[in-house]
Copies of this chain bind each other. A is one copy, B any other.
Amino acid sequence: MTAYPETLMNALRAEPGLKLSDRATKAPAWWPSDAPQDKREAAERMKELGTLLSDLQERLFASALQEDSKDSVLLILQGMDTSGKGGVVRHVMGMLDPQGVQHFAFKTPSAQERAHDFLWRVEKQLPAAGLIGVFDRSHYEDVLIHRVQKLSTEQQVEARYPKIVDFEARLVAQKIHPLKVMLHISRDEQYARLSERLERPDKFWKYAVSDVEDRALWEQYQLAYEIAIERTNTADAPWYVIPADQKWRARLCVAELLLATLQEINPQWPAAKFDVAAEKLRLEATR
């Protein structure tokens, strides 16, 4: 058994009064000495995590067949452009059975979605019992880009934080376990990643001219994140701030958080809903 995951989780947890500038985007000083220290060591641990997660996911899926056990998980991924949200989906969620994963990427809302409350479209994408949902962006966009780009009034934005807290409390009450993750990259790392997208024709499609515009508002976005995290960082739905300049480290952190979440749920194989001995006889008769 490795001892570091608990240390890791505690360190990743967003503290009251969080200042993102105080948070390392790579090689944090507190990084546990018994955790993987480089890409190669992380790859070893990721293999173990793949096996552990896969087993727990199948149990979670199966456990939902019981009337009294209806847990699901909701991984909420937030972060600046290029922070690696897609890579987490590909490399962490990609280790799981697609039958048990429900992925949704929130884009610019449609006219129909804008005609509803901001949580309306989120509600529709909640994972059913037994599933692990993944949101690439989420209802947090309505207090992040909306705050920075002034897509809503300050009053409207202010009103959303308590709505989010209530919404997430309801999720917890209905056993949808939220795992809220901010992939925290440095401004320099974003520059390097955007540059790469402009160098490689197979990366052009990942680049949007709005990326540079958002980048010019870096400080405002960091502040919007700090406020959002502070105002919605509850005991039941806490935020985790992940050092994300190194992809291997960010993916490892998310995989460990997901494992801890599933271990906490501790899903069990459901009991047979039929008489096993009788079914064996029935089956034998059809041999």
Contacts and interface: CB of A to CB of B under 8 A. Distances in A.
Interface of A: 62, 65, 86, 89-90, 93-94, 96-99, 101, 103, 105, 134, 136, 191, 194-195, 198, 201-202, 204-205, 207, 209, 212, 215-216, 269-274, 276, 279-280, 282-283, 286-287
Contact of A209 (B98, B270, B274): B274
A269 B202 contact: yes
A46 to B, nearest CB: 15
A286 B98 contact: no
Given A207-B274, A286-B212, A201 B99 contact: no
B99 A269 contact: no
A125 to B, nearest CB: 13
The oligomer's copy count stands at 2
A287 B191 contact: yes
A94 B89 contact: no
Contacts of A195: 280, 283
Given A99-B103, A198-B283, 9 more contacts: A89-B97, A90-B99, A93-B98, A98-B98, A98-B101, A204-B271, A204-B272, A209-B279, A212-B282
A136 B286 CA distance: 26
A283 B97 contact: no
A287 B195 CA distance: 10
Contact of A204 (B90, B215, B270): B270
Contact of A90 (B65, B89, B94, B98): B98
Contacts of A287: 191
B98 A279 contact: no
A274 B89 CA distance: 27
B97 A94 contact: yes
Given A93-B98, A94-B97, A283-B212, A269 B198 contact: no
